[in-house]
Amino acid sequence: MPFGWGRVSYMWDYRSKWLELPFPVSEYEQRIDKIRKMMEPEKIDCLLVHGNRADRAAVRYLANFEDFYGGDSVVVIPAREAVGMATNAIMHGEPMHSGIQQVWMEDVRCAAHPRTVDKAWTIWDQLEDMLKERGLAEATYGVSGDYADDVVAFIRERFPKAKVKKVTGLLPRAMAIKSRLEVEQIRKACAGADAALTAVMENCKPGVSEYELAGLANEAMFRLGAEETAFPIAMSSGPRAGFKHTAPTDRKLQLGDLVYTDLGCRVGGYYSDCSRNRAVGEPTKEQRHFMEANVLINEACMAAARPGAVIGDIAKIAIEVAKENGYEDYLYFRGHGIGTTTHVPPSFFPGNPAKLEENMVFCFEPMLVKKEFGTGCVEDIYRVTKDGVENLNKCPARWW
Amino acid sequence: MPFGWGRVSYMWDYRSKWLELPFPVSEYEQRIDKIRKMMEPEKIDCLLVHGNRADRAAVRYLANFEDFYGGDSVVVIPAREAVGMATNAIMHGEPMHSGIQQVWMEDVRCAAHPRTVDKAWTIWDQLEDMLKERGLAEATYGVSGDYADDVVAFIRERFPKAKVKKVTGLLPRAMAIKSRLEVEQIRKACAGADAALTAVMENCKPGVSEYELAGLANEAMFRLGAEETAFPIAMSSGPRAGFKHTAPTDRKLQLGDLVYTDLGCRVGGYYSDCSRNRAVGEPTKEQRHFMEANVLINEACMAAARPGAVIGDIAKIAIEVAKENGYEDYLYFRGHGIGTTTHVPPSFFPGNPAKLEENMVFCFEPMLVKKEFGTGCVEDIYRVTKDGVENLNKCPARWW
């Protein structure tokens, strides 16, 4: 094996001493049970869940593995035999530098990443061993993941008697409905976002730069336990506020600006994604009306949100309120489920016949975007309760 | 077209007013020229460069497009005809929410992302139009990108008379050698990392938590113009310091701890990746010797670094100094080129016969990692000069 390989052992006996999980192991076992029940009607003997840095949510959800190096990971969920994981997202060829100690599964097999070593076992060699040991050489496999073509090719090549089919919707469906502990974890991510939004809103004063505001926002999130940003912070003021998502610049705020920020963080694998807007100084009548209209849209829509509510019907409410306020042409009706990534079902767009279900957790962000004027968008995170929704954010909506 | 599509036009006439680039357009034109020269011996009529969030560096390098939504982007570089780009990394179905105004290329075609809209033109439809307009239906294509299988399939399906081959090494090779302006940009990213490292090192005091240190570090980077972190900050103290890369926790520093942090940011598309370590309070003799040995390894290796130096030979120097200091068993010899991602050539590992070239820019991070004791690793970024190397970082190496 290559230089430097595995001196800090990644075997369970060693790494279990260092295990730090956001949840008890029973939480993960319940997820595996849930996935296995979903596999039954699909007649799948073993589900292989692929993840990489572009599609990381399911691997974090199932294994608590966070790929911060860049590689391929595959979680193995047989219908009956023991679960496991293989990965080559192994920095410096050194599993314990790569967060492997955070994975609750006992059977984890690491392969060196081709980028930093000259030769090594591959992730496919490791997977082949694992699946053979479980007696699955002739099984029916389901393969999940946006970039899982290589997994399908692996099965076809190494297990020619096995069957394989792609099952793209299964994991997103499972991940859309949250457990009690997941909701609590998202609440922590929301607390980080709330602190960051508050820091930005309170410091929107003439002469303060967008860079400084971004600095304050990120300090607040990491101080409250963020392990990473959710996405690059959006910070726009003045004319650029009408673009919604732009990176901060050295521009200093001026009296009369509209300021818009959209930010979030990841805490224990769970994301927040929230936004606020305000004027620098006293808003003009038009600015106030614009920002108020957005809050009214939010309130009207969320008053109608409950289990069984159709997303397309909620969109109609938003359009109606926007029209009443003269802003129909500037409305984008948007929202998305959130969890171990910023986008899981449900997706909010006009005409969507999908229904809300209890314990879905979603970002709601109907927005008014008027070019060269500003963005009116308050984005909060809601949990669908038994008969309505609960806002998981605490930062005030109105800063005017 | 779907709801909300393109109200803020992404056509050049409109978006060019809002263009903000880290470099003059001539810098990008020179890159295209460089790529075209590299295409000649490969006999490629048109290079298609794919990117997504797992493999984003080349698209940022060529087009200045940063996918902060998650999708597929393809940069089109014909040998003679005009360059262009197509992407579906389009948030809310709204190109100007997605940073499209930052792309210098005039011909950019946006396709809605399937995730937030019900139906839309695909990126493949847009690409087909673009390539037909350039008369390339029967061309020889080169396809670049770690996840570019879909691009190959697209050519085979829509242009059956075309030839297509994968050219994986071309872009990394081009991106390894930096222009003067690129070095200046990396210097800015280093300034952010230096400020963050300094904030952490100065605040390593008993009772300060890892969370607080991460907050200070991130404030410093974003205040100096970071658009994003380079990767999740590593922050470890006490027993966990021997794992090198771990997320911050609420653990409060104690006298006698070793503390290790590894961090970086992205400024105008360019990354930094730097690390420091120190003891809380006065280090023990063993701690001091351990940290000093790492700095001595750095100094000895970088004294030998220059154009033509063989990486494997530099590794031998590191191993020799580690041995002299009694730490051979704890040494990992590592490093990597950096630019629009944290990992471009050259890659530092023992036995690598690759040679340094002038204007390569790389992170050098030989590390001593001793489990349950700590990490000794000072990581700085160096440019290969005409006859040596220049350290682009300013934060002191020794904090003891």
Query: CB–CB of B226/B265 below 8 Å?
Result: yes
- Determine contact: A218 vs chain B, CB below 8 A: yes
Partner-chain contact A244 B70, CB within 8 Å = no
Q: Are A72 and A55 in contact (CB under 8 A)?
A: no
B318 in A contact zone (CB under 8 Å) = no
Is the Cβ pair B214, A222 closer than 8 Å? Answer: yes
- The partner residues of A108 in beta bridges, in order of sequence, read A85
Among all residues of chain A, which has the CA nearest to that of B375? A97
Q: Does A244 touch chain B (CB under 8 A)?
A: yes
Q: Give yes or no for residue B93 having a pLDDT over 70.
A: yes
Contact of A227 with A256, CB cutoff 8 Å:
no
CB B375 within 8 A of CB B248: no
CB contact under 8 A, B211 and A231: no
Nearest chain A residue to B240, by CA: A18
Residues A321 and A351 in one domain: yes
Average pLDDT for chain A: 94
Alpha carbon A82 to chain centroid, angstroms: 27
Please indicate if any CB of chain B lies within 8 Å of the CB of A211: yes
- B286 within a domain of the structure (yes/no): yes
Are B223 and B115 part of one and the same domain?
Answer: no
The secondary structure of chain B in percent helix, strand, coil, rounded to multiples of 5, reads: 35, 20, 40
Tell me, yes or no, whether A93 and A153 share the same domain.
yes
Question: Which residue in chain A has the smallest CA separation from B210?
Answer: A223
Q: How far apart are CA B48 and CA B137, in angstroms?
A: 14
Q: To 10 degrees, what angle do helices B123-133 and B149-158 make?
A: 60
Nearest to B337 by CA among B148, B171, B192, B102: B171
Cβ pair A211:B229 closer than 8 A = no
Assess whether B222 and B84 both reside in one domain.
Answer: no
Dihedral sign computed on CA atoms, order B68, B71, B77, B81: negative
Query: Chain B residues with CB inside 8 Å of A350's CB?
Result: 3
For the stretch B19-71, pLDDT in tens is 999 999 999 999 999 999 999 999 999 999 999 999 999 999 999 999 988 89
Name the minimum distance, in Å, from the CA of B147 to any CA of chain A.
8
Residue pair B396/B293 in contact (Cβ under 8 Å)? The answer is: no
Whether A2 shows a pLDDT value over 50: the answer reads no
- Pick from A32-46, A116-130, B25-39, B295-309: least confident: A116-130
A3 belongs to a structural domain? no
pLDDT at B111 (0 to 100): 87
Is residue A313 domain-resident? yes
Q: How far apart are CA A175 and CA A339, in angstroms?
A: 7
**Looking at the complex, does the CB of residue B349 fall below 8 Å from at least one CB of chain A?**
yes
Q: Which domain holds residue B323?
A: 180-391
* Residue B1 confidence class, pLDDT cut points 50, 70, 90: very low
pLDDT in the model for residue A118: 52
How far does the CA of residue A289 sit from the closest CA of chain B (Å)? 22
Is A243 in contact with B101 (Cβ distance < 8 A)?
yes
What lies within 8 Å, CB to CB, of B70 at 6+ separation is: A54, A343, B52, B53, B89, B113, B115
A227 and B247 within 8 Å at the Cβ level: the answer is yes
Distance CA B5, CA B101 (A): 16
| Residue closest to A247 by CA, chosen among B10, B98, B70 | B98
CA dist A198 and B147 (Å) reads: 40
Percent of chain A scored above 70 by pLDDT?
Answer: 97
- The radius of gyration computed from the CA coordinates of chain B, to the nearest angstrom, equals 23
Number of domains in chain A: 2
Sign of CA dihedral B181, B185, B186, B191: positive
Tell me, yes or no, whether A245 and A380 share the same domain. yes
> CA of A367 to nearest chain B CA: how many angstroms apart?
10
Distance, in angstroms, between B157 CA and closest chain A CA?
Answer: 17
How sure is the predictor about A1, in pLDDT bands with cuts at 50, 70 and 90?
A: very low
Which residue has better confidence, A119 or A239? A239
Within 10 angstroms of residue A133's Cβ, the number of other Cβ atoms is 12
Q: Is residue A396 part of a domain?
A: no
Contact present, A176 and A360 (Cβ < 8 Å): yes
Decide if A378 contacts A276 (C-beta within 8 A): yes
Are the Cβ atoms of B224 and A232 closer than 8 angstroms?
no
Residue B230 and residue B327 in one domain: yes
| B214 at A interface, C-beta within 8 A | yes
Cβ contact, residue pair B243, A20, below 8 Å = no
DSSP B218-242: HHHHHHTT-SEESSPPEEEEGGGGG
Chain centroid to CA A160: 36
Q: Do A117 and B349 touch (CB under 8 A)?
A: yes
Q: pLDDT value at position B6?
A: 60
pLDDT greater than 80 at residue A112? no
Task: Give the nearest partner residue to A228 out of B7, B229, B333, using CB atoms.
Answer: B229
Name the token pair of B283: 């280090």
Residue B108 lies in a domain: yes
Looking at the structure, do residues B167 and B249 belong to the same domain, yes or no? no
Of residues A53, A115, A222, nearest to B347 (C-beta): A115
Please give the helix or strand (H or E) that residue A175 lies within, else none: helix A170-176
* C-beta atoms of B68 and A243 within 8 A: no
Answer yes or no: is pLDDT of B234 > 90: yes
Q: At what angle do helices A149-158 and A123-133 cross, to 10 degrees?
A: 60
Residues of A in contact with B220 (CB under 8 A): 215
Cα separation, A341 vs A321, whole angstroms: 30
Q: Is the peptide bond before A160 cis (omega within 30 degrees of 0)?
A: no
Closest chain B residue by Cα to residue A98: B245
- Considering the domain architecture, whether residues B233 and B108 belong to the same structural domain is answered as no
Is A226 an 8 Å CB contact of chain B?
yes
- Tell me if chain B has a CB within 8 Å of the CB of A99: yes
Q: What is the mean predicted confidence (pLDDT) over A58-65?
A: 98
How many CB atoms are closer than 10 A to CB A326?
Answer: 11
User: How many other CB atoms sit within 10 Å of the CB of residue A9?
Assistant: 13
Alpha carbon of A371: minimum distance to chain B alpha carbons (Å): 7
Mutate to test the interface with B, among A154, A349, A370, A371 (most CBs of B within 10 A): A349
Taking an 8 Å cut-off on Cβ atoms, the answer to whether B334 and A369 are in contact is no
DSSP annotation of B177? B
Please tell me if residue A379 touches chain B, with a CB cutoff of 8 Å: no
Can you give the pLDDT at residue B78? 98
Contact A105, A157 (CB under 8 A): no
Interface subset of B 117-156, CB within 8 angstroms of A: 117-118, 147, 149
* B146/B187 same-domain check: no
Give domain status of residue B398, yes or no: no
Distance from CA of B30 to the nearest CA of A (A): 26
In this prediction, residue A4 carries a pLDDT of: 47
Q: Which CATH number is B270's domain given?
A: 3.90.230.10
Out of A2-6, A198-202, B381-385, pick the least confident.
Answer: A2-6
Interface check B350 vs A, CB under 8 A: yes
Q: Is A114 on the interface with B (CB under 8 A)?
A: no
Question: Is any Cβ of chain A less than 8 angstroms from the Cβ of B50?
Answer: no
Average pLDDT over residues B265-279: 98
Q: Which of B54, B240, B349 has the CB atom closest to A70's CB atom?
A: B54
Per-residue pLDDT of B164-219, as tens digits, reads 999 989 999 999 999 999 999 999 999 999 999 999 999 999 999 999 999 999 99
Q: Are residues B97 and A244, on separate chains, in Cβ contact within 8 Å?
A: yes
Q: pLDDT confidence of A114, banded at 50, 70, 90?
A: low
Cα torsion A31, A34, A36, A38: sign: negative
A211 CB neighbours in chain B (<8 A) are 222-225
Average pLDDT, chain B: 94
Residue A111's pLDDT band (boundaries 50, 70, 90)?
confident
pLDDT of A372 reads 86
Question: Among candidates B352, B37, B335, B356, which has minimal Cα distance to B170?
Answer: B37
Domain boundary at B126, B142, B175, which? B175
Whether residue B368 lies inside any domain: the answer is yes
Residues A123 and A212 in one domain: no
Q: Residue A98: which of B52, B214, B245 has the nearest Cβ? A: B245
> Given a cut of 60, is residue A3 above it in pLDDT?
no
> What does the block give as tokens for A113?
């990443």
Residue B97 has what pLDDT?
86
Return the CATH number at A53.
Answer: 3.40.350.10
User: For residue B397, is it within any domain?
Assistant: no
- Chain B touched by A288 (CB under 8 Å): no
Is a pLDDT exceeding 60 seen at residue B5? no
Same structural domain for residues A286 and A361? Answer: yes
Q: What is the dihedral of CA B138, B144, B147, B153, to 10 degrees?
A: 10
Q: How far is CA A59 from CA A46, A121, A192, A264, in A?
A: 16, 21, 23, 20
- The verdict on A349 touching B (C-beta cutoff 8 Å) is yes
Of B228, B243, B351, the CB nearest to A101: B243
Same domain, A64 and A105: yes
* ipTM given for this complex: 0.94
Q: Which of A140, A175, A210 is the last residue of a domain?
A: A175
Last residue of a domain, one of B114, B142, B175: B175
Q: Helix (H, G, I), strand (E, B), or coil: what is residue A358?
A: coil
Contact call for B226 and A240, based on CB within 8 A: no
CA atoms lying within 13 Å on the CB side of residue A340: 29
Give the separation between CA A338 and CA A331, rounded to whole angstroms.
22
| Cross-chain Cβ contact B371/A333 below 8 Å | no
Q: Which of A237-246, A314-323, B119-128 has the lowest mean pLDDT?
A: B119-128
Exposure pattern of A174-209 as b/e (b: 16+ CB <10 Å)?
A: bbbbbeeebbebbbbbbbbbbbbbbbbbeebeeebb
Q: What percent of chain A has pLDDT over 90?
A: 87
Average pLDDT value for residue range B111-137 = 83
